[in-house]
Amino acid sequence: MARFLNSGSIKTFQQDITVSGTPEQLTSYAVPDGVSVVVKAKNANTGTITLGGSSAQALNSGTSYFPLTSGQSASYQVTDTDKIWFDGTVTGEGVEVTLEY
């Protein structure tokens, strides 16, 4: 769906992996129609962040994840940020997230 109005604000947050090998959902924020969520691996990361649409897809030892190395990003049009799951190869590393609101 195309957007024709500018948003009033942006939302940014960071989230770290609690335990490598245990995928987590991003914190929940509603995403307006036509808005993409950008998920970026933190620049200081030394390992790989793995993204997916479920815990099983994001699992860093699986085969169906989308990998991000330091500084790389991906964007998704989802209804809520919690539709995005992430994991990583190094505990404590994480992602930066931004979206229009």
Domains delineated in the chain = 10-100 (2.60.120)
| C-alpha span between 64 and 47 (Å, rounded) | 17
Q: Are 10 and 81 spatial neighbours (Cβ–Cβ below 8 Å)? A: no
Prediction pTM value: 0.92
Q: What is the pLDDT of residue 41?
A: 98
pLDDT (tens digit, 9 = 90+) per residue, 22-74? 999 999 999 999 999 999 999 999 999 999 999 999 999 989 999 999 999 99
Residue matched to tokens 């190869």: 89
Q: What is the pLDDT of residue 5?
A: 73
Q: What is the pLDDT of residue 1?
A: 57
Q: What is the pLDDT of residue 24?
A: 98
